Amino acid sequence: MRVAIVTFPGSNCDYDAYHAVADELGERAHYVWHKDRDLGGADVVVLPGGFSYGDYLRCGAIARFSPVMDAVAEHARRGAPVLAICNGFQIACEAGLLPGALLRNASLRYVCEFRTLRVETVDSAFTAEYAPGQLVRIPIAHGEGRYVADDATLDRLESEGRVAFRYVDERGAPGDDGNPNGSLRHIAGILNEGRNVLGMMPHPERAVDARLGSADGLPLFRSLLAAVGA
């Protein structure tokens, strides 16, 4: 598997993604600067977390116009996987690769902590290696992670099984206790219509070693490996 990790000015989780792919999985990863237009033959593209362009105007609003985003959109159009994490999720929404938007946390506070998520679908290139309904511990680190979309969009995401991860409490129940940012319907991650673009605020690339708190992000990368079959 060959994974391209896009570095925007202000990305700060690009190395974490590289570490997950190259060191933990033993697969090939390379960085792609946001001004490049070539993804280097990548099977998978990662839009990593961080603060691209200082989050000016709105998170992700400027990054979506980076030259590399045309190649990312084309990669997604072909049905190839795009993993958009945290700031990457915000960029993907601004770019129209995913529906909805990420707004300031309801608490107005930046939240950095482990959270429990429930795997809502295993029917995707990102989640096939999880068990349906599996509870996973994955860290979040964001100030603008409150997922918002209109009711029709939310209903459609639900009915098409495109909610990939939901915030839950430690017993696995969705509710305000488990929801760190006020996301509508406790949504932590969603899939696009083709199920090949995943946007999520939690950081699976920071949960790849049990000695550092959790390895629950590893099955996501293993799912990608199985899906691209290389």
Partner 1 sequence: MTPYRIEIRVVPRRGILDPQGKAVADALHALGFADVTDARVGRHVVLDVRAADAGAARARAAEMCDRLLANPVTEDYVIESAEPAAA
Under the rule (CB under 8 A), what is the footprint of partner 1?
57-58, 61, 93-94, 99-101, 103-108, 146, 148-150, 182
Neighbours of 212 (CB within 10 A): 10
Please report how close the Cβ of residue 76 comes to partner 1 at its closest, in angstroms.
Answer: 19
Q: Which is nearer to partner 1, 23 or 158 (CB)?
A: 158
Least distance between partner 1 and beta carbon 145 (Å): 12
Q: At 121, give phi and psi (nearest 5°).
A: -150, 140
Cα-only R_g, the chain: 16
CA 202 to centroid of chain Cα atoms: 7
Based on CB atoms, which residue is closest to partner 1, 161 or 182? 182
Residue 103 CA to residue 58 CA, distance in Å, equals: 9
Query: Minimum CB separation from partner 1 for residue 195, in Å?
Result: 21
86 catalytic, yes or no? yes
Residue from 130, 124, 143 nearest 201 by CA: 143
Nearer to partner 1, 143 or 204 (CB): 143
**Residue 205 annotated as catalytic:** yes
Active site residue 59: no
Nearer to partner 1, 33 or 107 (CB): 107
Annotated catalytic residue: which of 75, 86, 93, 142? Answer: 86
Q: Give dist(CA 132, CA 198) in Å, integer.
A: 17
Q: Which is nearer to partner 1, 152 or 230 (CB)?
A: 152
Instruction: Supply the minimum distance, in Å, between the C-beta of residue 58 and partner 1.
Output: 6
Rounded CA-CA distance 225/205 in Å is 14
Size of the chain, expressed as the number of residues it contains: 230
CB burial of residue 109 (10 Å; 0-12, 13-18, 19+) = exposed
Closest approach, Cβ 57 to partner 1, in A, equals 7
- Catalogue the active-site residues: 86, 203, 205
